[in-house]
Amino acid sequence: MKTSLKNKWVLVTGASSGFGAATARAFGAEGANVILGARRVDRLAQVADETKKAGAASVHFHGLDVTTTPSTNAFADWVRGLTPKIDVLINNAGGAHGADTVANGRDEDWEAMVQVNLLGLMRVTRAILPLMVGNPGSSILNIGSIAGRVAYEGGSVYCGVKAAELQITKSLRLELCGTGVRVGTIDPGFAETEFSMVRFKGDKGRSDKVYEGTEPLTAEDIAETLVWCASRPPHVCIDELLIKCTDQAAIHKVHRRTAKA
Ligand SMILES: NC(=O)c1ccc[n+]([C@@H]2O[C@H](COP(=O)([O-])OP(=O)(O)OC[C@H]3O[C@@H](n4cnc5c(N)ncnc54)[C@H](OP(=O)(O)O)[C@@H]3O)[C@@H](O)[C@H]2O)c1
């Protein structure tokens, strides 16, 4: 039977756009208390407003840069001032930077991807775990990617950090066995968010090409999936979930409709 999310405390990182913003609204619609973190605080204010309107019990937001320990720990201190327990942690902050081959890769892109997707996930989890252990039935849901399961040309470091996310999730699942805290990874294929604009540094033409002729996943598709995972009964843990749009059978097998003349 579904577990109600009403009045539960849900923390979403990377809540200023894409999956994170849609997830905030979706948990808001379930009547949860929603906590939002990201670097763009003006965007968080807008998402907070939408989340409140969706029906959230309460909404709170604060600047968060997961690439630094001081920012992450200051965020966690602020969270502890709001609530002594977290019921759902969604580690969503992340993204790709560039799509260069190994031969042409740039240090700044590699470092950015390792910091946000890998070390950021570790920092937030370490800081928030004390609010979850002792709260059986709570859930840590990490956002991985199809890229963590299958490599592609130009994806080396992004595929690498998302593969690390999968292994970190599995380690944490083992470490928390017996506490009642659930741990899982939700691994999407391509979805139309700000992801590709960030990856291609604002090049809209290149970004649009990723989705051309397809019906990609939406941020709402992922948000609904996260709500479903978190609302399973406490004895059910969704360990791993790979979710792709119907047009994407595999990384290299995408059905594209040609434009009609
Ligand atoms: N879209 C896809 O095709 C796809 C597929 C599989 C997996 N994913 C993963 O899904 C997650 C969400 O991506 P999205 O598609 O929703 O892209 P998005 O619209 O670009 O959202 C990324 C979010 O991460 C936040 N973020 C980035 N760096 C951060 C930092 N240093 N500290 C805190 N927050 C940070 C951004 O907020 P600020 O810039 O305001 O900090 C933003 O809210 C990422 O982990 C991504 O790797 C995406």
Q: Is the CB of 116 under 6 A from ligand 1?
A: yes
pTM above 0.95, yes or no: yes
259 is a domain residue: no
Pocket test of ligand 1: the residue of 12, 23, 39, 65 to mutate, having most ligand atoms within 8 Å of its CB, is: 39
130 is a domain residue: yes
Q: Is the CB of 145 under 6 A from ligand 1?
A: yes
Single-letter amino acid code for the residue at 202: G
Distance from C-alpha of 166 to C-alpha of 144, rounded to nearest angstrom? 7
Ligand 1 atom at minimal distance to the Cα of residue 117? 45
4 is a domain residue: no
Predicted pLDDT of residue 258: 86
66 pLDDT tier (thresholds 50, 70, 90): very high
244 is a domain residue: yes
Single-letter amino acid code for the residue at 238: I
Mean pLDDT calculated for residue range 236-257 = 97
Q: Is the CB of 148 under 6 A from ligand 1?
A: no
Domain holding 37, by residue range, is: 9-254
261 is a domain residue: no
Annotated catalytic residue within 6, 52, 152, 162:
162
Tens digits of per-residue pLDDT, 192-228? 999 999 999 999 999 999 999 999 999 999 999 999 9
Predicted pLDDT of residue 260: 61
Q: Is the CB of 66 under 6 A from ligand 1?
A: yes
- CA distances (Å), 58 to each of 48, 82, 112, 226, in order? 9, 11, 32, 19
1 pLDDT tier (thresholds 50, 70, 90): confident
- Give the distance (Å) from ligand 1 centre to CA of residue 95: 5
Q: Is the CB of 65 under 6 A from ligand 1?
A: yes
Q: What is the largest CA-CA distance in the chain?
A: 61
Q: How many CB atoms lie within 10 A of CB 170?
A: 15
162 among known catalytic residues:
yes
Q: Is the CB of 190 under 6 A from ligand 1?
A: yes
Predicted pLDDT of residue 58: 98
Task: Report how many domains make up the chain.
Answer: 1
88 is a domain residue: yes
Annotated catalytic residue within 8, 158, 211, 244:
158
Give the pair of three-digit tokens for residue 257: 């409709």
Mean pLDDT calculated for residue range 26-35 = 99
Mean pLDDT calculated for residue range 236-250 = 98
CATH number at residue 110: 3.40.50.720
61 is a domain residue: yes
Whether the per-residue pLDDT at 170 is higher than 60: the answer is yes
109 is a domain residue: yes
Mean pLDDT calculated for residue range 80-104 = 98
